[in-house]
């Protein structure tokens, strides 16, 4: 199971994903579920790191590599390979600067789509007088961007729509010779369900998947959970109620 010496956190996670919580007194491995497991995303990262000889992460929607990025700290403190994808040109330059000292990471200024090519992309202009969090709103869906107007009045006047380069998962993996992934992290502003439908789990099965559910309709969330379970994953609540995480058991 383990391909390198596991940390205590990795060992504990190995039991937790099977519904057993570690205790210091009898019963030492009681059954548990949900929040009772006390299972965190960092636990799964440590577990997958121990299960891998050459840890590989793919981040779709990396933003600047720092803000609201659940894998950033891990990447910076462990020996990792990775592909980090950020569609917004201005934000991509920040990403490059923040990861300039990590030569094993490949940074791409593209968006994942069903097919490779070009597609109109909508975002909020960086450096506007709007709240800083609005710069993280970027999507193929103009309606998705506009719906944040109620929380940031005046947002519509700062929307930038521009064609950007797209790449499919198939072409991405072919171009960079990706045959295995340890962690797939997706934060795609309402596109998470569609990206997980496009992902070729029959060819490449990441050990851990972390994705955003806050913008998913209930039907999509259930469909994605069932899809992941069909491919051998167990789905758990993530640290934030806006996200979910899945791990190969």
Least confident of 21-35, 111-125, 139-153, 198-212: 21-35
> Global pTM?
0.94
Task: Please determine, for residue 244, whether its predicted confidence score (pLDDT) is greater than 90.
Answer: yes
Concatenated DSSP letters of the chain: --SSPPPHHHHHHHHHTTTB---SSSSSS-B--GGGG---HHHHHHHHHHT-SS-EEEEES-TTSSTT-TTHHHHHHS--EEEEE---HHHHHHHHHHTTT-TTEEEE--EE-SSSEEEEEEEEPTTSSS-GGGGG-EES-HHHHHGGGGTSTTGGGGEEEEEEEEE-HHHHHHHTT----SEEEE--TT-HHHHHHHS-TTT---SEEEEE-TTS-HHHHHHHHHHHHHTTEEEEE-SSTTEEEEEE-
Give percent of the chain with pLDDT exceeding 90. 74
pLDDT at residue number 35: 81
Q: Domains of the chain, with CATH numbers?
A: 7-39 (no CATH), 42-248 (3.40.50.150)
Q: Mind listing the pLDDT tens digit for each residue in 162-183?
A: 999 999 999 999 999 999 999 9
pLDDT at residue number 105: 97
């Amino acid at each position: 199971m383990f391909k390198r010496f596991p940390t205590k956190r990795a060992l504990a996670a190995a039991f937790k994903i099977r519904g057993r919580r570690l205790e210091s007194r009898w019963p030492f491995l009681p059954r548990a579920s949900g929040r009772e497991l006390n299972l965190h995303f960092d636990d799964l990262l440590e577990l997958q790191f121990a299960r891998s000889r050459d840890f590989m992460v793919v981040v779709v929607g990396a933003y600047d590599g720092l803000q609201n990025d659940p894998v950033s700290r891990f990447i910076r403190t462990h020996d990792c390979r990775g592909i980090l994808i950020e569609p917004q040109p201005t934000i991509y330059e920040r990403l490059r600067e923040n990861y300039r000292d990590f030569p094993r990471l490949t940074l791409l200024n593209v968006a994942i789509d069903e097919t490779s090519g070009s597609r109109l992309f909508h975002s909020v202009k960086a450096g506007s007088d709007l709240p800083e969090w609005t710069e993280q709103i970027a999507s193929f869906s103009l309606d998705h961007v506009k719906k944040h107007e109620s929380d940031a009045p005046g947002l519509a006047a700062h929307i930038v729509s521009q064609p950007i380069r797209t790449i499919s998962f198939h072409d991405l993996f072919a171009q960079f010779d990706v045959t295995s992934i340890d962690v797939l992290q997706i934060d795609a502003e309402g596109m998470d369900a569609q990206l997980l439908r496009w992902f070729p789990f029959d060819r490449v099965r990441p050990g851990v998947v972390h994705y955003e559910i806050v913008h998913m309709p209930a039907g999509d969330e259930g469909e994605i959970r069932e899809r992941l379970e069909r491919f051998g994953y167990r789905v758990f609540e993530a640290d934030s109620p806006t996200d979910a995480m899945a791990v190969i058991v």
